[in-house]
């Protein structure tokens, strides 16, 4: 007998933005790719992977990639958006991306079952936290005015 699926997450954009809390992982993450015929080394730390026609994309730590002598790109920090967003939420990641774009911060967004995450270039993480915290504060103020 399988376990019941966890409760679905929040779908309201207003609720998502106004209750947004952020955390940053201290590790440096990188992206790498392996050919379709190659598997990841069993001891490689895999934060996330995605199969594409061209190969296997892996997000791992810089330390793990280096210890396996794997070529990688995009050293980054992972910012977790600590709100259980629904996989069907409309506009949440778009609002996050739009705000980061307005401040010239590139991001690679990734959605897990419970949370969304943004991988931002190494060195831009503090600015990204400030920008996204400001977005959350704006949403809280707007929600307060509407109440």
The pLDDT value recorded for residue 120 is: 98
In a domain, 69, yes or no: yes
Name the domain count of the chain: 1
CB atoms within 10 A of CB 7: 7
Confidence of residue 145 (pLDDT cuts 50, 70, 90): confident
Confidence of residue 143 (pLDDT cuts 50, 70, 90): confident
> Per DSSP, what are the bridge partners of residue 32?
58
Contacts of 91 (CB under 8 A, 6+ apart): 13
Torsions phi, psi of 61, nearest 5?
Answer: -80, 155
List the CATH number of the domain containing 33.
3.30.2130.10
In a domain, 40, yes or no: yes
The pLDDT value recorded for residue 106 is: 96
The pLDDT value recorded for residue 2 is: 75
The pLDDT value recorded for residue 80 is: 98
The pLDDT value recorded for residue 49 is: 97
The pLDDT value recorded for residue 8 is: 80
In a domain, 71, yes or no: yes
Please count the helices (runs of H) and the strands (runs of E) in the chain. 4, 7
In a domain, 116, yes or no: yes
In a domain, 37, yes or no: yes
The pLDDT value recorded for residue 1 is: 65
pTM for this one? 0.91
Region 6-28: mean pLDDT is 91
Q: Which domain holds residue 21?
A: 13-146
Contacts of 17 (CB under 8 A, 6+ apart): 92, 95, 135, 136, 138, 139
In a domain, 73, yes or no: yes
In a domain, 6, yes or no: no
In a domain, 5, yes or no: no
Q: What is the pLDDT of residues 22-70, one digit of tens each?
A: 999 999 999 999 999 999 999 999 999 999 999 999 999 999 999 999 9
**Which secondary-structure segment (H or E) carries 81?**
strand 73-81
Q: What is the pLDDT of residues 71-103, one digit of tens each?
A: 999 999 999 999 999 988 999 999 999 999 999
For 1, the 3-state DSSP assignment is coil
Question: 129 vs 23, 32, 81, 120, CA distance in Å?
Answer: 8, 25, 10, 10
């Amino acid at each position: 007998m399988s376990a019941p699926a966890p409760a679905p997450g929040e779908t309201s954009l207003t609720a998502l933005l106004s209750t947004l809390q952020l955390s940053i992982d201290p590790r440096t993450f990188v992206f790498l790719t392996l050919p379709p015929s190659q598997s990841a080394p069993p001891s490689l730390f895999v934060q996330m992977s995605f199969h594409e026609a061209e190969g296997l994309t892996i997000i791992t730590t810089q330390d793990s990639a280096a210890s396996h002598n794997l070529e990688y790109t995009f050293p980054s920090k992972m910012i977790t958006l600590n709100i259980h967003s629904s996989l069907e939420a409309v506009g949440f990641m778009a609002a996050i991306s739009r705000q980061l774009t307005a401040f010239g911060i590139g991001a690679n967004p990734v959605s897990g079952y419970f949370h969304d995450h943004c991988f931002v270039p190494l060195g831009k993480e503090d600015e990204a936290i400030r920008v996204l915290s400001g977005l959350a504060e704006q949403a809280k103020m707007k929600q307060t005015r509407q109440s």
